[in-house]
Structure 1
Amino acid sequence: MTSTPPLDPRAFRSALGCFATGIAVITTLAPDGAPVGVTVNSFSSVSLDPPLVQFCLGRTAASFAAFSAAPSFVVNILAADQEELSGRFSRRDLDDRWSGVAVEPSASGVPVLSGCLARLECDREHLLDGGDHVIVLGRVRRLASREDGAPLLYFRGGYAQIA
């Protein structure tokens, strides 16, 4: 039996970067009630019936414990003019992420970011093993979306726009 040589991590990341994705900030509440948010581009729909979505979160992320324990979360799908929010919630340092950010509470109390293209309020269904990440599966309970605006995109390691 022949073995396959290991993939070069840089080549793997570069190849994956060819897949353009939208960007979302996932928000929840920590056990102490503090707001928590993280930028992701590994978000997708899973099922229409029942309405399920998923996102992936690194096991070493500072927000990992909060999302692992939280019963609910909100997917905030960012608009093209929200690049600053994407950067703010992608930093490893959790301090001052929320300073000056316009939010409103969801039905479950989880913060919803203002001005997003869409929001999906979810109950956490499952945490699934995904190697160095965990796959968070959520059931959508409530949603809202705008008819106008363009998405914030990520492509080949940087922000992109629809031409």
Structure 2
Amino acid sequence: MTQQQFSGVDFPRRFRNALGMFATGITVVTTRTPAGEPIGLTVNSFNSVSLDPPLIVWSLSNDLPSRGLFEACEYYAINVLAEDQVELSQRFASRLDDKFAGLDFETGVGGVPLLKGCCARFECRNTQRYEGGDHLVFISEVLSFDREERKPLVYFGGAYRRLAD
């Protein structure tokens, strides 16, 4: 194994490629703006923190225009995508103005949008935020959740993947 140096013009790309060797699930985090408009974005930096109390963690780039809206919201949902939901992942990763246009969804606590057909959905209270370099880290209380027996959408090495049987 080759040890990498923490310098050089291509360091950010090399570091990102190394991080890409860790397979993750894909989520869409959804909430509402103060005006009541649904918003969401694709996130793969999601994980559990605690079972008692039930806490989760995710992070959001400081560069995203929606950062302030997620930072200020009271509630949001984490929608864990199933393997047949690549289109949803791409939609919420895009720069579309209205990512919910024509999309059928349910409503959760505080009016947060809940996407249909997901592996799991977590309705959360936005409780703690921490500066983490070029990201804002959210640690939040899970208020409610549901799940379906579906295979998850997986991301590894810069590409969507499927779990083997």
Q: When the two structures are superposed, what TM-score results if normalisation uses the length of structure 2?
A: 0.92
Shift of 1:6: 2.5
Equivalent pair of 1:74/1:110 in contact (CA under 8 Å):
yes
What's 1:73 paired with? 76
Shift of 1:69: 0.7
SS of corresponding position for 1:135: strand
Unaligned runs of 5+ in 2: none
What's 2:86 paired with? 83
1:44 paired with 2:47, answer yes
- Which letter does structure 2 place at the counterpart of 1:49? D
Which of 103, 106, 118 in structure 2 is aligned with 1:104? 106
Higher mean C-alpha displacement, 19-28 vs 99-108: 99-108
What's 1:129 paired with? 131
Question: How far, CA to CA, are the matches of 1:67 and 1:94 in structure 2?
Answer: 17
Of all paired residues, the percent bearing the same amino acid is 46
Equivalent pair of 2:33/2:69 in contact (CA under 8 Å):
yes
Equivalent pair of 2:75/2:109 in contact (CA under 8 Å):
no
Question: How far, CA to CA, are the matches of 2:6 and 2:70 in structure 1?
Answer: 35
- Which letter does structure 1 place at the counterpart of 2:35? D
Where do residues 1-163 of structure 1 align in structure 2 (5 Å cutoff)? 5-6=6-7, 8-91=11-94, 93-146=95-148, 148-163=149-164
SS of corresponding position for 1:45: strand
Question: How far, CA to CA, are the matches of 2:6 and 2:57 in structure 1?
Answer: 31
Count of aligned pairs: 158
Q: When the two structures are superposed, what TM-score results if normalisation uses the length of structure 1?
A: 0.93
Question: How far, CA to CA, are the matches of 1:113 and 1:58 in structure 2?
Answer: 22
Shift of 1:152: 0.2
SS of corresponding position for 2:123: strand
Unaligned runs of 5+ in 1: none
Higher mean C-alpha displacement, 36-45 vs 60-69: 60-69
Equivalent pair of 1:62/1:94 in contact (CA under 8 Å):
no
- Which letter does structure 1 place at the counterpart of 2:132? G
Question: How far, CA to CA, are the matches of 1:112 and 1:106 in structure 2?
Answer: 6
SS of corresponding position for 1:13: helix
SS of corresponding position for 1:123: strand
Per-residue CA distance 1:74-125 (angstroms, 9 max, x = gap): 000000000000000001x241311121201003210100111110000011
Report the aligned-residue RMSD.
Answer: 1.2
- Which letter does structure 2 place at the counterpart of 1:73? Y
